[in-house]
């Protein structure tokens, strides 16, 4: 059917007349005259639509640091004067500082003929003089304002802040206030320093989510330090692939533990625990159900269009035996693509192209259908996964995250995994995304660029989609005779109770093929200057064996689909020095803590993080580490 369009294009070209030369000259002259008049009037642009305030709001909502706020306020002050020469002229006079009264309270006189043709005829208005700027400009602005084409008709913009209406009926734009957007992040305080004698055992679930790093990157790229609650150190550390020693034989993963001096505190040591998942060469057929949010909020270019491109990338990685189905949710849930073999690329791509955004979000109905489809697709020996792609805004049905997570947890038992891909910012409900992925035994990743999609869906496809160990839990017992205090860096949202470690019914994170997971403790040896807490006056002498190792590491995991867990245990080694891979992980952990404003870092700053990371970039085949260093530089300049 392109022929029709080509015909039409040709016909259209031929039919399009040249603009009338006289009209063109006249129109251009009219525009220039209006332009000149408008500059002379010195009116603030269109108080009616609150455009300036919309911009200010956007600026404030991305600037969250104190320094950023001061800087942006200064910028606004400059911008305001530039837009409003009148303020410059009258800046010293208090009455001139009030915003000009807006127009629109008096009916506009316009000849019927003019209204019909839509032409605006500006009267000869003397250039606004300093003596009477208001009076001269008011009429002019009315004329221009009366020709208002509200762009909000087809381009949704943030709702204008309500104007304050003065007694005489004139509206004045209110002063800007800092408004938060609707992004929500899980609210977890940094892990506190624990006293070994009181609480010798630390238990947590591993976490292979990486969403926080992408959110941090997105913030920094937009020139603002990320909100502290958006920074999850373990997700930043686990964003990067590390080349830890690989497991031998049949073990699904291999722990490597190093103890070394802390870069930011000579009085403490870091316990670096690296888990390396086994690579798989032969993989079972994969059933993927894409559950795609097509609500109106997904329309932006960095959401649905990016999602489509991402899935295109991923399709190229699938094998002919894999099957794909697409379910959408937006107002009502629907299966857009029946389960289709991955070899039928064009059918799948066509279905993807048909997707469009519009309507409200009803997450739960879509989710139920996606699981039904996935269950229908799965056969013996195959892996099924629902991939939920959303900007995280579940408007309907999921207002109660607890009910939702219960549903997903129940489905997890049936062997269908859930991954969550987050798109877009500003509307992203990070907390719900986390809750979903953690309960669905899946990964949550935030996709802001095509290269991030490349990383998550192509470079790490096997790891992201093929779990090799489920419910991986870590427990470390420190020897109170050797370690006075300890602090787990990150994993705040992943803490488990001590007794949960041996309880196979308690859910935990999964490791995918080839994945690496890193956890870091900062520990203070007994007798170090850096010990923060005084010994108890009336307490017993500290138990423990000063001759024994500093602590003991236990890991529990389940083979995929298994009900019973297996145990790996080993003592923590004596202090040595960090290898290059561990050093980079520590640099990122330091970076994340700086962004969180962690006081334990003492005088250590971004410069130190950059130096540490630069010394440990390694091969960096995908350039992730180089990118991290440039983000550190950005954060350094933003925080100054």
Partner 1 sequence: MCASVKPFKMRMTTDDRSLGLAAAGGDAAAFAALLERHYDRMFGLAFRLTGQQAEAEDLTQDICAALPAKIRAYRGEAAFSTWLYRVVVNAAHDRRRRQATHRKAAQGWGDWEVNRVAANAEAADAQEWLQTAMASLPEALRDTLALVLDDMNHAEVGAVLGISEGTVSWRVSEAKKHLRSLKEKETT
Torsion of CA 249, 254, 257, 258, to 10 degrees: 80
How does DSSP classify residue 173? P
* Integer Cα distance of 461 and 246 in angstroms: 19
Is the CB of 32 or the CB of 182 nearer to partner 1? 32
* Integer Cα distance of 428 and 215 in angstroms: 10
> In which order are the strands placed within the sheet that holds 332-341?
332-341, 323-330, 286-293, 383-390, 416-423, 444-447
Which window, 146-154, 179-187, 423-431, 600-608, contacts partner 1 (CB under 8 A)? 146-154
* Integer Cα distance of 58 and 544 in angstroms: 57
* Integer Cα distance of 371 and 378 in angstroms: 11
> Per-residue x/- mask for partner 1, residues 563 to 602, rule CB under 8 A?
----------------------------------------
* Integer Cα distance of 506 and 301 in angstroms: 40
Q: 């803490």: which residue's tokens?
A: 495
Least Å distance between CB 182 and partner 1?
20
Q: For residue 177, state whether it binds partner 1 (rule: CB under 8 A).
A: no
* Integer Cα distance of 302 and 448 in angstroms: 7
Least Å distance between CB 30 and partner 1?
5
* Integer Cα distance of 634 and 221 in angstroms: 8
Q: For residue 452, state whether it binds partner 1 (rule: CB under 8 A).
A: no
Least Å distance between CB 303 and partner 1?
8
Please count the other Cβ atoms lying within 10 Å of the Cβ belonging to residue 331. 17
Phi, psi of 228, rounded to the nearest 5 degrees: -60, -35
Residue 299's alpha-carbon distances to 307, 360, 373, 520, 585, in angstroms, are 11, 12, 26, 40, 36
Q: Which helix (H) or strand (E) holds 399?
A: none
Which of 202, 242, 285 has the alpha carbon at shortest distance from 494?
202
Is the CB of 16 or the CB of 281 nearer to partner 1? 16
Contact (CB, 8 A) for 257 and 550? no
Is the CB of 112 or the CB of 541 nearer to partner 1? 112
Selected binder of partner 1 within 179, 353, 400, 413 (CB under 8 A): 353
Q: For residue 139, state whether it binds partner 1 (rule: CB under 8 A).
A: no
Which window, 150-158, 193-201, 220-228, 400-408, contacts partner 1 (CB under 8 A)? 150-158
Is the CB of 262 or the CB of 294 nearer to partner 1? 294
The token pair that represents 412 in the structure block: 């997890």
Q: For residue 8, state whether it binds partner 1 (rule: CB under 8 A).
A: yes
Q: 């007794």: which residue's tokens?
A: 499
Least Å distance between CB 340 and partner 1?
19
Q: For residue 228, state whether it binds partner 1 (rule: CB under 8 A).
A: no
Is the CB of 23 or the CB of 541 nearer to partner 1? 23
Give how many residues touch partner 1 by CB under 8 A.
Answer: 69
Q: Is residue 590 classed exposed, middle or buried when 0-12, 13-18 and 19+ CB atoms within 10 A define those classes?
A: buried
Q: For residue 151, state whether it binds partner 1 (rule: CB under 8 A).
A: yes
Selected binder of partner 1 within 126, 154, 159, 541 (CB under 8 A): 154
**Residues 580, 585, 590, 592, CA torsion sign:** positive
Is the CB of 81 or the CB of 543 nearer to partner 1? 81
Which window, 153-161, 371-379, 385-393, 418-426, contacts partner 1 (CB under 8 A)? 153-161
Which of 271, 384, 241 has the alpha carbon at shortest distance from 325?
384
* Integer Cα distance of 277 and 47 in angstroms: 59
- Reduce the DSSP state of residue 93 to 3 states and report it: coil
Least Å distance between CB 495 and partner 1?
41
Please count the other Cβ atoms lying within 10 Å of the Cβ belonging to residue 122. 14
Is the CB of 8 or the CB of 70 nearer to partner 1? 8
Selected binder of partner 1 within 61, 62, 71, 85 (CB under 8 A): 85
Selected binder of partner 1 within 64, 299, 451, 528 (CB under 8 A): 299
Q: For residue 301, state whether it binds partner 1 (rule: CB under 8 A).
A: yes
Q: For residue 5, state whether it binds partner 1 (rule: CB under 8 A).
A: yes
| Segment 332 to 351, residues that bind partner 1, using CB under 8 A | none
Phi, psi of 609, rounded to the nearest 5 degrees: -65, -40
Selected binder of partner 1 within 67, 70, 77, 115 (CB under 8 A): 115
Selected binder of partner 1 within 67, 156, 535, 571 (CB under 8 A): 156
Q: For residue 113, state whether it binds partner 1 (rule: CB under 8 A).
A: no
How does DSSP classify residue 498? G
Selected binder of partner 1 within 77, 88, 403, 567 (CB under 8 A): 88
Is the CB of 60 or the CB of 486 nearer to partner 1? 60
Q: For residue 20, state whether it binds partner 1 (rule: CB under 8 A).
A: yes
Q: For residue 166, state whether it binds partner 1 (rule: CB under 8 A).
A: no
Selected binder of partner 1 within 77, 120, 536, 548 (CB under 8 A): 120
Least Å distance between CB 167 and partner 1?
28
| Segment 25 to 54, residues that bind partner 1, using CB under 8 A | 26-28, 30-32, 34-39, 42, 45-46, 49, 51
Contact (CB, 8 A) for 363 and 394? yes
- Reduce the DSSP state of residue 97 to 3 states and report it: helix
Q: For residue 116, state whether it binds partner 1 (rule: CB under 8 A).
A: yes
Residues that bind partner 1 (CB under 8 A): 1, 4-5, 8-9, 11-12, 14-20, 23-24, 26-28, 30-32, 34-39, 42, 45-46, 49, 51, 55, 81-83, 85, 88-89, 91, 115-120, 122, 141, 144-145, 147, 149-151, 153-156, 299, 301, 304-305, 308, 353-357
């Amino acid at each position: 059917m392109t022929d029709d369009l080509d015909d039409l294009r040709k016909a259209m070209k031929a039919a399009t007349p040249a603009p009338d030369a006289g009209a063109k000259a006249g129109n251009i002259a009219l525009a220039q005259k209006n332009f000149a008049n408008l500059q002379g009037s010195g009116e603030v642009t269109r108080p009616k639509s609150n455009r300036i305030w919309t911009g200010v709001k956007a600026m404030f909502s991305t600037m969250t640091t104190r320094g950023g706020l001061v800087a942006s306020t200064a910028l606004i002050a400059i911008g305001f004067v530039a837009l409003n020469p009148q303020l410059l002229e009258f800046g010293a006079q208090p009455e001139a500082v009030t915003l000009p009264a807006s127009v629109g309270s008096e009916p506009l006189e316009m000849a019927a003929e003019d209204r019909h043709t839509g032409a605006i005829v500006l009267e000869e208005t003397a250039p606004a003089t300093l003596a009477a700027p208001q009076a001269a400009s008011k009429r002019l602005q009315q004329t221009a304002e009366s020709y208002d084409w509200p762009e909000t008709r087809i381009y949704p913009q943030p709702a204008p802040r309500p104007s304050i209406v003065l007694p005489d009926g004139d509206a004045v734009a209110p002063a800007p206030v800092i408004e938060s957007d609707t992004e929500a992040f899980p609210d977890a305080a940094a892990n506190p320093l624990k006293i070994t004698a009181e609480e010798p055992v630390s238990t947590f679930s591993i976490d292979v989510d990486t969403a926080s790093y992408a959110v941090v990157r997105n913030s920094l790229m937009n020139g603002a330090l990320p909100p502290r609650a958006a920074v999850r150190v373990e997700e930043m550390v686990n964003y990067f692939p590390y080349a830890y020693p690989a497991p031998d034989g049949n073990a699904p993963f291999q722990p490597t533990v190093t103890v070394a001096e802390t870069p930011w505190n000579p009085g403490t040591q870091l316990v670096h625990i690296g888990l390396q998942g086994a690579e798989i060469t032969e993989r079972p057929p994969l059933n993927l159900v894409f559950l795609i949010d097509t609500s109106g909020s997904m329309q932006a270019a960095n959401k649905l269009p990016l999602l489509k491109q991402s899935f295109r990338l991923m399709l190229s990685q699938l094998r002919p035996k894999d099957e794909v189905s697409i379910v959408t949710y937006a107002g009502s849930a629907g299966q857009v693509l029946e389960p289709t073999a991955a070899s039928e690329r064009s059918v799948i791509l066509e279905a993807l192209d048909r997707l469009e955004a519009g309507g409200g979000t009803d997450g739960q109905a879509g989710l139920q259908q996606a699981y039904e489809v996935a269950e229908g697709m799965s056969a013996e020996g195959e892996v099924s996964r629902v991939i939920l792609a959303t900007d995280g805004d579940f408007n309907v049905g999921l207002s109660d995250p607890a009910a939702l997570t219960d549903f997903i947890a129940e489905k997890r038992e049936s062997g269908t995994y859930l991954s969550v891909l987050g798109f877009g910012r500003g509307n992203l409900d990070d907390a719900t995304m986390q809750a979903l992925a953690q309960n669905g035994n899946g990964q949550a990743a935030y996709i802001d660029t095509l290269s991030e999609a490349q990383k998550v869906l192509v470079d790490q496809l096997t790891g992201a989609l093929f779990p090799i160990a489920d419910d991986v839990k870590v427990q470390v017992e420190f020897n109170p005779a050797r370690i006075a205090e300890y602090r787990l860096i990150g994993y705040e949202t992943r803490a488990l109770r001590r007794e949960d470690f041996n309880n196979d019914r308690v859910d935990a994170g999964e490791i995918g093929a080839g994945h690496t997971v890193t956890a870091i403790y900062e520990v203070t040896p007994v007798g170090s200057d850096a010990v923060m807490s005084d010994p108890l006056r009336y307490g017993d002498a500290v138990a423990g064996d000063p001759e024994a190792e500093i602590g003991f590491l236990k890991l529990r995991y389940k083979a995929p689909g298994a009900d019973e867990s297996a145990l790996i245990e080993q003592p923590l080694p004596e202090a040595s020095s960090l290898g290059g891979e561990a050093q980079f992980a520590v640099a990122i952990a330091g970076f994340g803590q700086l962004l969180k404003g962690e006081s334990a870092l003492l005088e250590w700053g971004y410069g130190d993080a950059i130096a540490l990371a630069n010394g440990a970039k390694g091969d960096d085949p995908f350039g992730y580490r180089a990118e991290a260093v440039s983000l550190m530089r950005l954060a350094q300049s933003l925080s100054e």
